[in-house]
């Protein structure tokens, strides 16, 4: 048994070794904060934008301002930011249903998409894209990277309507994708088939780098507001940003073909969306530092963990390979115990909507399931990998690590 003092020292040593990467994360946060602040100023955001709306929501200036803010920051022509979007899966699904039509081909270049999207794309008899006649093809990673040869061959021969890629690792033992990788694959795809729509699942990727996928060739990005861009404040919702011609189609899917984004009100008021987006660059930086520290600590104890430490990762997730199911449960439960909310609650694995295996989710969060807050989750299957992410404050992650180390030694 090592003492609490020794555990603290270990964590401090790891922190010291990460000094250079932490500085880089600070630089990125500064650039992203500037970008966000400029967008607030340029769009003359004002307290009247925090007002609620009712009924149809006609002329809801807050909604319009929020859309403009997101599209300015992500350098897109347009955006939909909405509490009516239930979560990230819903946002990404809207993007897919919005632009794809019967007999179109959707090509995933990142292997199997996130668990909850599998049924959306390929389910049978549930109103999936496949039920509506959209064809799907998937090209897996080769050695942890895009299989560029096979992608170019496929795009040349079949001219898919849309290409799908995912920035974060999801429940997979793989590196997250960086924007320079997205640029490489997007350039190749567009050089062969310039009309191809590149759609990026941006979950956990916002503000992680200086650029976003839309800066390097993605036509549409989509994500969850209870992850990075909600800054821990947004109570629910999702966003989609991209080219106007696509965003209009997607808005028609969000409501109806006759109404698009002209309707939709929100009676609770938009203050937390503005405030959350404003602090998001800083919150994401805290989470990245926490993620790097966690991975360093786990690997120093002899556990395989991601991200590696040569460069900043493309998402905020630390994955660690544990030895047994019991250890996995302990790990997630320890995360719950050291959370500000529901610390006295014990999470159990269970079947959750959209997932194939039982999943355990520790989320002692202010916002239910909000994974920009410090959370740990895992599908119950071998190898037993825990996914730790988020942290509104870096200090919370650092303190939580003291408890997590106890599960690992």
Ligand X SMILES: *Cc1c(COP(=O)(O)O)cnc(C)c1O
Question: Considering the rule CB under 6 A, would residue 370 count as an interface residue with ligand X?
Answer: no
List 386's β-bridge partners, or say none. Answer: 320
Q: Is 105 helix (H, G, I), strand (E, B) or coil?
A: strand
Q: Which C-beta is closer to ligand X: that of 170 or that of 264? A: 170
Report the residue from 67, 89, 228, 261 that binds ligand X according to the rule CB under 6 A: 89
Task: Say which DSSP state 266 is in.
Answer: -
Nearest to 201 by CA among 155, 158, 165: 165
CA distances from residue 199 to 105, 168, 221 in whole angstroms, order as listed: 13, 14, 6
Cβ atoms of 94 and 240 within 8 Å: the answer is yes
Q: Measured at CB, which residue is nearest to ligand X?
A: 88
Q: What is 369-406 written as a DSSP string?
A: T-TTSSEEEEES-SS-EEEEE--SSHHHHHHHHHHHHH
Question: Considering the rule CB under 6 A, would residue 204 count as an interface residue with ligand X?
Answer: yes
Stretch that binds ligand X, among 198-206, 306-314, 360-368, 377-385 (CB under 6 A): 198-206
CB of 115 to ligand X, least distance (A): 8
Q: Which C-beta is closer to ligand X: that of 89 or that of 147? A: 89
Question: Considering the rule CB under 6 A, would residue 209 count as an interface residue with ligand X?
Answer: no
CB of 89 to ligand X, least distance (A): 3
Report the residue from 22, 114, 239, 331 that binds ligand X according to the rule CB under 6 A: 114
Distance of alpha carbon 325 from alpha carbon 314, whole angstroms = 28
Stretch that binds ligand X, among 47-55, 61-69, 201-209, 323-331 (CB under 6 A): 201-209
What's the Rg (C-alpha) of the chain?
Answer: 21
User: 3-state DSSP: the chain helix, strand, coil percent, rounded to 5?
Assistant: 45, 15, 40
Task: Say which DSSP state 312 is in.
Answer: -
Report the residue from 88, 217, 260, 379 that binds ligand X according to the rule CB under 6 A: 88
Stretch that binds ligand X, among 70-78, 122-130, 163-171, 275-283 (CB under 6 A): 163-171
Question: Considering the rule CB under 6 A, would residue 201 count as an interface residue with ligand X?
Answer: yes
Helix (H) or strand (E) holding 319: strand 317-321
Q: Which C-beta is closer to ligand X: that of 203 or that of 320? A: 203
Q: Which C-beta is closer to ligand X: that of 60 or that of 115? A: 115
Q: Which C-beta is closer to ligand X: that of 203 or that of 360? A: 203
CB of 195 to ligand X, least distance (A): 25
Report the residue from 57, 98, 170, 364 that binds ligand X according to the rule CB under 6 A: 170
Question: Considering the rule CB under 6 A, would residue 224 count as an interface residue with ligand X?
Answer: yes
CB of 114 to ligand X, least distance (A): 3
Cβ atoms of 202 and 215 within 8 Å: the answer is no
CA pseudo-torsion sign 349, 223, 272, 395: positive
Q: Which C-beta is closer to ligand X: that of 236 or that of 339? A: 236
Nearest to 399 by CA among 3, 9, 8: 8
Positions touching ligand X (CB under 6 A) are 87-89, 114, 116, 166, 168, 170, 201, 203-204, 224
């Amino acid at each position: 048994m090592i003492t609490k003092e020794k555990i603290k020292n270990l964590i401090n040593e790891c922190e010291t070794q990460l000094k250079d990467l932490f500085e880089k994360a600070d630089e990125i946060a500064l650039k992203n904060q500037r970008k966000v602040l400029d967008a607030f100023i340029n769009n003359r955001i004002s307290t009247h934008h925090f007002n609620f709306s009712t009924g149809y929501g006609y002329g809801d200036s807050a909604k319009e301002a929020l859309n403009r803010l997101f599209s300015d920051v992500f350098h897109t022509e347009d955006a939909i930011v909405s509490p009516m979007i239930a979560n990230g899966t819903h946002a990404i699904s809207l993007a897919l249903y919005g632009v794809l039509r019967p007999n179109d081909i959707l090509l995933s270049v990142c292997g199997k998409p996130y668990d909850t999207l599998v049924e959306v794309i390929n389910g049978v008899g549930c109103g999936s894209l496949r039920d509506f006649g959209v064809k799907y093809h998937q090209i897996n990673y080769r050695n942890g990277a895009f299989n560029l040869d096979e992608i170019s061959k496929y795009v040349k021969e079949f001219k898919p309507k849309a290409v799908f890629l995912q920035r974060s690792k999801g429940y997979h033992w793989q590196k997250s994708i960086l924007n320079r990788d997205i640029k490489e694959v997007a350039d190749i795809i567009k050089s062969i088939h310039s009309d191809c729509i590149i759609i990026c699942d941006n979950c956990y990727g916002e503000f992680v780098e200086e650029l976003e996928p839309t800066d390097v060739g993605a036509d549409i990005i989509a994500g969850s507001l209870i992850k990075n861009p909600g800054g821990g404040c947004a109570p629910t919702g999702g966003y989609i940003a991209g080219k106007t011609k696509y965003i209009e189609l997607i808005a028609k899917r969000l409501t109806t073909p006759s109404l698009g984004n002209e309707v939709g009100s929100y009676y609770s008021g938009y203050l937390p969306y503005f405030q959350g987006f404003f602090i998001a660059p800083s919150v994401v930086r805290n989470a990245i530092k926490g993620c790097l520290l966690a991975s360093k600590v786990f690997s120093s104890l002899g556990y395989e963990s991601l991200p590696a430490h040569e460069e900043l990762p493309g998402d905020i997730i630390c994955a660690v390979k544990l030895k047994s199911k019991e250890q996995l449960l302990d790990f997630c439960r320890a995360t719950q115990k050291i959370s500000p909310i529901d610390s006295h609650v014990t999470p159990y694995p269970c079947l959750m909507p959209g997932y194939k295996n039982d999943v355990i989710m520790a989320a002692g969060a202010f916002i239910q399931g909000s994974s920009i807050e410090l959370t740990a989750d895992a599908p119950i299957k071998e190898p037993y990998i825990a996914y730790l992410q988020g942290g509104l404050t870096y200090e919370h992650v650092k303190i939580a690590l003291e408890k997590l180390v106890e599960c690992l030694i």
